[in-house]
Amino acid sequence: MRDDKASLAKQFIQAIPHSRALNMRVEQIGDGVAEISMPYDEALIGDPQTGVIHGGAVSALMDTCGGAAVMSHPDAPAGTATISLRIDYMRAATPGQRITARAECYHITRSVAFVRARASDADADNPVATASGSFTVERPKGAGA
Amino acid sequence: MTRPPPEPVQLIKQRRDAALSALVHGVPYIQFLGIAFERRGDELTAVLSYDEKLIGNPLLPALHGGVTAAFLEVTAIIGLSWSLIWDEMERGALDPLTLSPQTLPRLPKTIDFTVDYLRSGLPRDAYARARVNRSGRRYASVHVEAWQDNRARLYAQATGHFLMPPRDV
């Protein structure tokens, strides 16, 4: 049952048009934790003089990963949407390297899910960015109290 | 007492549009998302043209939250850079007609960025404007508002802090 939920979430995420546009790959998902990676792409460059990827692309990866973590939580019934997301940028991602984000849904109520995430490149001990966010918990219509 | 005649309006427009174009077209990610900037004097409005690849929830459908975050961050960085370039350009310290992506002043770096999602992003064009609330020698704080159909009904807003590019003085 749990595996079904994880594979469904994985399918759903990999079918999102913007995740496809960024070539995101779900590395791991389940029990409120998700790991998603994104390859380096020259189309995503934000600083033409250094070739460093734009922070916005890292935000998109973090947001997707956060939503995936929520969807994979055992207490999350259905979809989710971002309420707020804060990202701290520690350093520039090294050009040419794949970026991997890992998000954890560490608390969930009937209405809100709380998420922490971090992203790194090949130097996994030295994060590129960290994030924290809150997400909605969407309940199927007609589900009684 | 004679004053020099005012510059022809076309010359002023050409200079300002060239500077904006060099700034915006130098960044591949801005082209990837399909963001354009419209200028009225020094005021910029960012326009995100709808495209299917910007969708994050195909069932609703709705714009991807990451796209909205990226759109706001791009608007903030360009807005902040533009305010720096504008002053230098109007002082005559920078000639925009010689600017290329390789010779542009360095862009500010994002320290942190916080996005409020107020409404779901509809599958149509979105607009955003940045306001530089503080621009110091080393740090800046920028607020951005984004809307779709109605200017008064924001669909997202954000505040970010930025590390200013080193300036050769």
Q: What is the mean pLDDT of residues A29-42?
A: 96
How many domains are contained in chain B? 1
Highest mean pLDDT among A14-18, B1-5, B13-17, B31-35: B31-35
Residue B1 within any structural domain of the chain = no
Residue B93 within any structural domain of the chain = yes
- Write down the pTM of the prediction: 0.93
Write out chain B residues lying below 8 Å of A64, CB-based. 56, 64, 66
Whether ipTM exceeds 0.90: yes
Of the pLDDT bands very low, low, confident and very high (cuts 50, 70, 90), residue A1 is very low
Q: Judge contact between B41 and B12, C-beta under 8 A.
A: no
Taking the C-alpha atoms of residue B81 and residue B10, their distance in angstroms, rounded to an integer, is 23
Interface test with B, best of A54, A58, A141 (most B CBs within 10 A): A54
The reply to whether residue B56 touches residue A15, judged by beta carbons under 8 angstroms, is no
DSSP class per residue in B41-56: TTEEEEEE---GGGEE
Region label for B90, one of left (φ > 0), alpha (ψ between -120 and 50) or beta (otherwise): alpha
The SS3 assignment for B40 reads strand
Residue B3 within any structural domain of the chain = no
Q: Which of A17, A82, A87, A36 is nearest to A59 (CA)?
A: A87
How is residue B163 annotated by DSSP? E
Which structural domains are found in chain A, ordered by start?
Answer: 2-136 (3.10.129.10)
Taking the C-alpha atoms of residue A7 and residue B129, their distance in angstroms, rounded to an integer, is 40
pLDDT digits (tens, 9 = 90+) for A49-86: 899 999 999 999 999 999 999 999 999 877 899 999 99
User: Residue A33 has what pLDDT?
Assistant: 96
Residue B2 within any structural domain of the chain = no
The reply to whether residue B64 touches residue A55, judged by beta carbons under 8 angstroms, is no
Residue B4 within any structural domain of the chain = no
Residue B21 within any structural domain of the chain = yes
pLDDT digits (tens, 9 = 90+) for B7-65: 888 888 988 999 999 999 989 999 999 999 999 999 999 999 999 999 998 888 999 99
The reply to whether residue B53 touches residue A18, judged by beta carbons under 8 angstroms, is yes
Residue B145 within any structural domain of the chain = yes
Residue B128 within any structural domain of the chain = yes
Which CATH number belongs to the domain containing residue B139 in this structure?
3.10.129.10
First to last CA, chain B: 34
Residue B43 belongs to domain spanning: 9-163
